Amino acid sequence: MSTVPKLELVKTVLDRVQRHVKTQRSNSRNEALLQAAAMLFASRGFLATSMRDIAKAVDMLPGSIYYHFPSKDDLLLAIYQAGVEQISATFTEAVTPLDDPWQRLSAGMAALVRAVTEESSGTRVIFKVMPDDVPRYRDELIAFRDEFEALFRDLIEQLPLQPNVDKHLVRLMMLGAGNHAQLWFSREGPYTPDEIGEQFCHYLQHATARAEP
Amino acid sequence: MSTVPKLELVKTVLDRVQRHVKTQRSNSRNEALLQAAAMLFASRGFLATSMRDIAKAVDMLPGSIYYHFPSKDDLLLAIYQAGVEQISATFTEAVTPLDDPWQRLSAGMAALVRAVTEESSGTRVIFKVMPDDVPRYRDELIAFRDEFEALFRDLIEQLPLQPNVDKHLVRLMMLGAGNHAQLWFSREGPYTPDEIGEQFCHYLQHATARAEP
DNA sequence: ACCTTAAACAAACAAGCGTTTGTCTAATTA
DNA sequence: TAATTAGACAAACGCTTGTTTGTTTAAGGT
């Protein structure tokens, strides 16, 4: 056991530790690395993306990545975490100012479709990369997903639905519809992501069937 | 040019040719191979399944598979083709005897959810394995998918919808909802695949929102 | 009985994978 | 100025991948 160190020394050490803990290591290329990996994971998938692909995207040698992240799996974990944080924030921000439950769902669906179609963001990774692709972090990734889906569950819960409608099924239906947009959405298409989300909500709220003539 | 061969000889030759053309090669383990590969592709995905995994599943050595199929890609192609044929048949069989457009969609959705949740069949592969995972056959796989989606499109087309409802969006919404069921469906859950498909259709047809009090 | 063929085996192939190692340089800290 | 550290490089590691090769065995046709 050493003697009590001076206050300044303690501060300095803490600063250094924080700098190591807050981000994975320091800061500079770290962000670029996350962003490049996120883009590749989102478009090609996790298994189809190699560390060499990622390295090439940030103009770096494969081995150098391991200075910033301890493994490919951890790289995905970091992206997942950041992705969930971002979509949860965006989602909450869009929903909270609204009072009407249907308007809230409409805004939520819009946020969801925006997330799965955003081109340069980690939010897409959450919906593209399946937890089973990373056995080591399977449970953690599922937990991250649940974190977002809980917000969505609350939104559905507050909906004034007819008594014979199962809210559980409604949630899965809307989540599936929104999620699926990542496979067919195109910037050249006739709708914005927001419009798609809002339309989906609209179809659920109002009868789409024409009244009997 | 040779002289006209005897009839028997022609028959024999044709038989042999047919035996080679109808299935990839002969018949015996071929079917087991397709089925095992389909199950693995459907549950783990294409990239996460190795030829050694498939070989182990049929109790065979990895190299032996190449007697029956020229490559891993071709194995998937065969599964995809058979899968599309089967789901198209099931789909048509369920829909054609019905007249009412909404009943037809209901039966179609039920068939779709059945297909994506069936545990030992190639139909699941179509919705699990993305064409981009197999660059060599990307276009062919997409064509197979389209073959089925065309049936679905026709179903939606005949729906008597309100004039402000975009049938294109409705189709993508329902396809997404059904497709997504593969990720959350459980045999221990409260609903059968048919019930799920029918409910989804019901939600689209009737107003789910409770009338204003 | 002979010949052919179906079907599998055993063993290796080259390429690509995630990762580790040791070294060098430029910047920061003391 | 001297010591330390951040950050990247170059090269290899062990392993898995899809696939190929040469050989063997057992059945079928003539």
pLDDT in tens, A45-83: 999 999 999 999 999 999 899 999 999 999 999 999 999
pLDDT for B205 beyond 50: yes
Q: Which of A172, A196, A198, A204 to mutate to test the interface with B (most CBs of B within 10 A)?
A: A172
Q: What is the CA A24 to C1' D5 distance in angstroms? A: 16
How would DSSP label each residue in A40-74?
HHHHH-STT--HHHHHHHTT--GGGHHHH-S-HHH
Contacts of A133 in chain B (CB under 8 A): 45, 48
Asked whether the beta carbons of A142 and A131 are under 8 A apart, the reply is yes
Name the CA dihedral angle for A47, A49, A52, A56, rounded to a multiple of 10 degrees: -170
Contacts of B210 in chain A (CB under 8 A): 160-163
Closest Cα to residue B181, out of B131, B115, B113, B133? B113
Name the CA dihedral angle for B179, B185, B189, B193, rounded to a multiple of 10 degrees: 40
Looking at the DSSP assignment, which residues form a beta bridge with residue B209?
Answer: A161
Asked if A172's CB is within 8 angstroms of B176's CB, the reply is no
Asked whether the beta carbons of A197 and A180 are under 8 A apart, the reply is no
Looking at the DSSP assignment, which residues form a beta bridge with residue B31?
Answer: none
Q: Residue B37's CB: how many other CB atoms inside 10 A?
A: 27
The single residue listed with the structure tokens 């859950």 is B189
Alpha-helical runs (H) found in A23-162? 28-44, 51-57, 65-68, 72-95, 101-117, 123-128, 138-157
Longest dimension (CA), chain B: 90
The single residue listed with the structure tokens 């039966």 is B107
Mean of the pLDDT values across residues B67-73? 94
Asked whether the beta carbons of A79 and A141 are under 8 A apart, the reply is no
Closest CA in chain B for residue A200: B173
pLDDT for B48 beyond 80: yes
Any atom of strand D under 7 A from CB of B135? no
Mean of the pLDDT values across residues B65-87? 95
pLDDT (0 to 100) of residue A119? 83
Mean of the pLDDT values across residues B62-81? 94
Task: Note the pLDDT tens digit of each residue in B161-191.
Answer: 999 999 999 999 999 999 999 999 999 999 9
pLDDT (0 to 100) of residue B166? 96
How far is the C-alpha of A65 from the C-alpha of A75, rounded, in Å?
Answer: 10
Q: pLDDT band for A208, please (50, 70, 90 cuts).
A: confident
Closest CA in chain A for residue B174: A177
Asked if B200's CB is within 8 angstroms of A161's CB, the reply is no
Asked if A162's CB is within 8 angstroms of B208's CB, the reply is yes
Q: Render the burial of B176-185: b for 16+ CB within 10 Å, e for the rest.
A: bbbbbbbeeb
Any atom of strand C under 7 A from CB of B23? no
B200-B205-B209 Cα angle (round to 5): 85
Any atom of strand D under 7 A from CB of A51? no
Written as one letter, the residue type at A207 is A
Average pLDDT value for chain A: 87
Query: Which A residues between 71 and 110 have a beta carbon under 7 A from any strand C atom?
Result: 71-73
Closest residue, CA to C1' of C20? A63
Q: What is the CA A143 to C1' C28 distance in angstroms? A: 40
Asked whether the beta carbons of B163 and B104 are under 8 A apart, the reply is no
Task: Note the pLDDT tens digit of each residue in A2-41.
Answer: 333 333 333 333 333 333 333 344 467 788 899 999 999 9
Any atom of strand D under 7 A from CB of B130? no
Closest Cα to residue B112, out of B159, B80, B146, B152? B152
Question: CB under 8 Å to A65, separation ≥6 — which residues?
Answer: A33, A51, A54, A55, A75
Mean of the pLDDT values across residues B97-125? 95
How far is the C-alpha of B77 from the C-alpha of A32, rounded, in Å?
Answer: 38
* Inter-CA distances, A101 with A98, A171, A205, A208, Å: 8, 14, 11, 19
Asked whether the beta carbons of A165 and A146 are under 8 A apart, the reply is no
How far is the C-alpha of A116 from the C-alpha of A126, rounded, in Å?
Answer: 8
Task: Note the pLDDT tens digit of each residue in A98-153.
Answer: 999 999 999 999 999 999 999 877 899 999 999 999 999 999 999 999 999 999 99
B200 class by beta-carbon count within 10 Å (0-12 exposed, 13-18 middle, 19+ buried):
buried
Asked whether the beta carbons of A165 and B206 are under 8 A apart, the reply is no
pLDDT (0 to 100) of residue B131? 97
Closest CA in chain A for residue B129: A45
pTM for the structure as a whole:
0.87
Q: pLDDT band for A212, please (50, 70, 90 cuts).
A: low
Min Cα distance B95 → chain A (Å) is 19
Closest Cα to residue B65, out of B87, B40, B91? B40
Min Cα distance A154 → chain B (Å) is 17
End-to-end alpha-carbon separation of chain A, Å? 89
Name the CA dihedral angle for A134, A40, A116, B170, rounded to a multiple of 10 degrees: -100
